[in-house]
Amino acid sequence: MKLDVIKLDGTAAGTLDLDEALFGLEPRADILHRVVRWQRNNAQAGTHKVKTRSEVKYSTKKIYRQKGTGGARHGARSAPIFRGGGVYKGPVVRSHGHDLTKKFRKLGLCHALSAKAKAGELVIIEDANSDGKTAVLAKTVKNLGWKRALVIDGASVNADFLNASRNIEGLDILPTMGANVFDILKRDTLVITKSGIEALEARLK
């Protein structure tokens, strides 16, 4: 499939032939869902924790005698039944992550790129260069109509462009190796440089 290439000032810069295996697939929601779920689960801290019966600080002295009180038999105030006692089967520190094969993760990225291409939300720019001035880049982004955009550059991001974009709301920059399904789907517009297209094709083939 062919797509027009533009410069940052909005002028045309020719066309680019995109690989159908990366940008021409029929997007599948189930594949995208599995990859996004894998990403979000791996990002979850899992630091929730409560104290169990053995961890709460209480005396281990028997509360009252075993028999003759007419009440239930108890040995310590740390039992979960008492106020201030330990929690039974509460959350513990653990990892929420799970495995997903490299092949499936690559497939998910291809479907995310194809979803943006099919929706008409994919923009190819010649390069992502800037003089480092935030005001100039902000005006450029506004003129191009990018409200919530993700820019994917080549192996490395232009330092001046990165610095200029830091205070622009709704604009995020990633190198090719940082491209992921969640960030692509979260933005309204996906912007990729020509070098980014080449690097993505090399990475996903």
What SS3 class is residue 75? coil
Question: According to the model, what pLDDT value does residue 13 have?
Answer: 86
Contact yes or no for 145/26 (Cβ under 8 A): no
Task: For residue 63, give every residue at least 6 positions away whose Cβ sits within 8 Å of its Cβ, in sequence order, or none.
Answer: 74, 75, 76, 77
- Give pLDDT, residue 205: 82
Residues in the chain: 205
For 2-42+97-204, which CATH superfamily applies?
Ribosomal protein L4/L1 (3.40.1370.10)
* Residue ranges of domains in the chain: 2-42+97-204, 50-90
Write out the chain's pLDDT in tens, 205 residues.
889 999 988 888 889 999 999 999 999 999 999 999 999 999 999 999 999 999 999 888 899 999 999 999 999 999 999 998 999 999 999 999 999 999 999 999 999 999 999 999 999 999 888 888 999 999 999 999 999 999 999 988 989 999 999 999 999 999 999 999 999 999 999 999 999 999 999 999 8
30, two tokens: 């189930």
AA letter at 118? K
Is residue 192 a contact partner of residue 123, using CB atoms and an 8 Å limit? yes
CA 18 to chain centre: 25
Query: For position 1, what pLDDT does the model report?
Result: 83
CA-closest candidate to residue 185, choices 15, 18, 34, 46: 34
Of 47, 50, 49, the C-alpha closest to 86 is 50
Q: What is the pLDDT of residue 26?
A: 95
Strand ranges, E, within 7-119: 12-17
Its pTM stands at: 0.83
What does the pLDDT read at residue 148?
A: 94
Per the CB < 8 A criterion, the answer to whether 125 and 173 are in contact is: no
